[in-house]
Amino acid sequence: MRRLSLLCIVLLLLLTGCSVSEPCRRELMAMDTFMTLSVYAQSPAAGEALLEEAAGEIRRLEGLLSVTDPGSEIYQANHGGAVSLSEPVRELLEKALELCRETGGALDVTVYPAVRAWGFTTGEYRVPEEAELSALVERVGYGRVALDGDRLALPEGVELDLGSVGKGWTGDRLTALFREAGVSSAIMELGGNVQALGTKPDGSPWRVAVQAPGGGYAGVLEIVDKAVVTSGGYQRYFEQDGETYIHIIDPATGRPARTGLASVTIVADSGLQGDGLSTALFVMGREKAEAFWRGNPDFDFILLGEDGTAAITEGLEECFSLYGGWEGRPLEIIRK
Ligand code: AMP
Ligand code: MG
């Protein structure tokens, strides 16, 4: 009997590859992106059970938020239904609308009709005519989304897309799930979002790489209990007639945001805030992003310019360094 249980434990370790010193890991495709969850748990069994729960939560949120799945609450609202939102969607929408307001509409969760017109939702890319775009921009405006308790009914023509904040929100929920289970060390990669719980098991900070626009890495961040979220033009784009069109849309014009930035990385306590702001600051461009940060200094950011320049806010001075091909380039520090 003893032998059998020992065999079971060895088999479990072989299957999961996790132990007290090795994290339990799970890789999955969800929310249109590749995700990796790594958790240091009290036992392999506890780690595996947590990862199972986390994967279930990701699938559940994906099912609620999807713009293409007819079963999702967002899909139903976008197709003219009055929907009673479930708790996570209501909370996410409320917080996302707050970020839309704070960023003066640079983040706008109703920009979906324009995103779709460029083909970013289906991959059937096209460049819309000016007249089509100006008609679509008429339908964009987060201020027209009114929540009555948990009831959401969108005005005619208005459509929601929480894709700019969904992964950050998911990271926050998984962090809470792991924390409640007593985990003090976990790292999650949800597409361009990294979310760290605590430190590495040895007490040292997590090292998170910041991607270089042309491939490889531009820098490394050392963080504890932070979300690191990047929005970059290189993450999704298409080319036509020598022009590049990226997936981040300026809600004021309905056109891809072109502000000279290659990427914006936000370092914040919350994944949702980081996710919303990475998209918003990309749309704002450097000057407005700096002004916004001076008025709302509860986060930090890294800007990589299309011209190969790099700038960080002063809070990252001690924990960010340029890396690889970017090492040795000037790094500008943005101060208050
Ligand atoms: P992210 O990758 O977090 O920067 O979010 C970009 C995604 O959000 C895009 O693929 C669009 O689906 C959507 N989106 C694009 N531009 C905006 C915007 N200005 N505000 C809100 N969502 C946007
Ligand atoms: Mg975002």
Q: What is the pLDDT along the chain (336 residues), one digit of tens a residue?
A: 444 444 444 444 444 557 657 899 999 999 989 999 999 999 999 999 999 999 999 999 999 999 999 999 999 999 998 999 999 999 999 999 999 999 999 999 999 999 999 999 899 999 999 999 999 999 999 999 999 999 999 999 999 999 999 999 999 999 999 999 999 999 999 998 999 999 999 999 999 999 999 999 999 999 999 999 999 999 999 999 999 999 999 999 999 999 999 999 999 999 999 999 999 999 999 999 999 999 999 999 999 999 999 999 999 999 999 999 999 999 999 999
What pTM was computed for the model? 0.94
**Cα-to-centroid distance, 230 and ligand 2 (Å):** 7
How many whole angstroms from 108 Cα to the centroid of ligand 1? 8
d(CA 212, CA 198): 26
Place of tokens 């240091």: 40
Backbone angles phi, psi at 79, to 5 degrees: -105, 30
CA of 164 to the centre of ligand 1 (A): 4
Q: Is 107 in the pocket of ligand 1 (CB under 6 A)?
A: yes
108 in contact with ligand 1, CB cutoff 6 A: yes
Q: Is 185 in the pocket of ligand 1 (CB under 6 A)?
A: no
Q: Classify 328 as helix, strand or coil.
A: coil
168 CA to centre of ligand 2 in angstroms: 7
Please identify, by atom number, the ligand 1 atom nearest to the C-alpha of residue 229: 3
Distance of CA 168 to the CA centre of its chain: 4
Cβ-based neighbours of 103, under 8 Å, separated by 6 or more: 276, 277, 280, 281, 284, 292
Q: Residue 175 carries which DSSP code?
A: H
List, in sequence order, every beta strand (DSSP E) within the chain.
Answer: 24-30, 33-39, 83-84, 147-148, 151-152, 185-190, 193-198, 206-211, 217-223, 227-232, 237-240, 243-246, 249-250, 255-256, 261-268, 300-305, 310-313, 320-322, 331-334
Q: For residue 146, how far is its CA from the centre of ligand 2 (angstroms)?
A: 22
At residue 297, the 3 state secondary structure works out as: coil
Ligand 1 atom with minimal separation from the 282 CA: 4
109 lines ligand 1 (CB under 6 A): yes
